[in-house]
Structure 1
Amino acid sequence: MMIYILDTNIFLRTLIKENDQTFADCVKLLGLIKSYQVEAVLPGVVLSEVAWVLKSYYQLPKAKVIQALKSILKLNGLKVVDNYDYEQTIKYYEENNVKYIDCLIASLVKNNKYAVVSYDEDFDKLKISRQEPGDFD
C-alpha cells in the first residue's frame, strides 16, 4: 500500500480557501485519510511551515494559528514523522534549485511505496513520486 507524505500546501489550501477546486480536492483527500482509506504521514517540519505561513504571510493571530495546528494534529489516520535522511536532504539541496524544506520532506521517500502529495512541482525536479489531491478518487 502506498504511503503518502503530505506537503504544507495541502493544509494551507483547506485553512485558507483561495480556490474552490483545490479546497474541495484537499478536503476530500483529508476525508479519505480520516476514514483510513488512504495512508498518510505528516512531516513535523510541515507543522512549522504551516505556522510560519499563517502567521507571517496571512498575518493570522497566534490563537488562530494554534487552533489550525491543533486541528491538523487531531486528524485521525495521520501520524507525524520526523525520520528525515539529512544526507539525502543535503544532496537534493546541492543538486537542485529547490527549497531546503522541500528537500527535507522529499528525503522521507524511501522507496516506490511512498509519494509526496503536493501542488508544488519543485518535487518533480527531485525525481520522486508526487501526486496532487485531485488525483485521489
Structure 2
Amino acid sequence: MKKYYVDSNFFLRFILKDNLNQWKVANDYFKEAKLEKVKLVFLTETIIEIEYVLRKVYKLSRRIILKYLLTLLSINNFEITDQELLKDTLLYYVEKNIDFVDIIIFLKARSQ
C-alpha cells in the first residue's frame, strides 16, 4: 500500500473548503484511504501546524479546533505519529491556556 505524508494544507483545505480544487484532491485521497488503497500519514509536526494555523490565521476557538483535531485523530485509516500523546495533549488544550506545542513538550518531559 502506498503511503503519503501529508502536510497541514492538505487537511486545512479539506475542512475549510476554501479552495475547491484543493478540497477535491484532498477528498479523493481521503476516499482512497477509507478504501485502504493508500495510507495517509500525519506527523506530529503537521498536527502542530494545523492547530497553529486554525488558531492564529483563522482565529478559531480552542473548542472548534479541538473538534477538528479529535476527528482527525479518530480516523482509523490514517497513520498518526504520537497519536496517544496528541490525544493526551488535547485533554489539557481545552482546559488550560497553554500553547499546544508547550503541552506536547510538557507531556514528553513528564514521561521521561
| Structure-2 residue corresponding to 1:41 | 41
Local SS of the residue matching 1:56: helix
Give the structure 2 partner of residue 53 of structure 1.
53
The match for 1:64 is 64
Give the structure 2 partner of residue 80 of structure 1.
80
Mind listing any 5+ residue stretches in structure 2 that lack a counterpart? 83-112
DSSP 3-state at the match of 1:79: strand
Superposition deviation, residue 6 in structure 1: 1.0
Letter in 1 for 2:37: Q
Post-superposition CA distance 1:64-101 (Å, at most 9, x none):
1000101111122111126xxxxxxxxxxxxxxxxxxx
Q: Which runs of 5+ in 1 are unaligned?
A: 83-137
Kept in 1: contact 2:42–2:78 (CA 8 A):
yes
Q: Structure 1-normalised TM-score?
A: 0.56
Q: Cα offset for 1:49?
A: 0.6
Runs of 4+ in 1 over 2 A off after TM superposition: none
TM-score by length of 2: 0.67
Number of paired residues?
82
Q: Which has the bigger relative contact order, CA under 8 A and spacing at least 6? A: 1
Q: Which amino acid aligns with 1:5?
A: Y
Is contact 2:39-2:79 (8 Å) kept?
no
Q: Secondary structure of 1:41's partner?
A: strand
The sequence identity of aligned pairs, in percent, is: 26
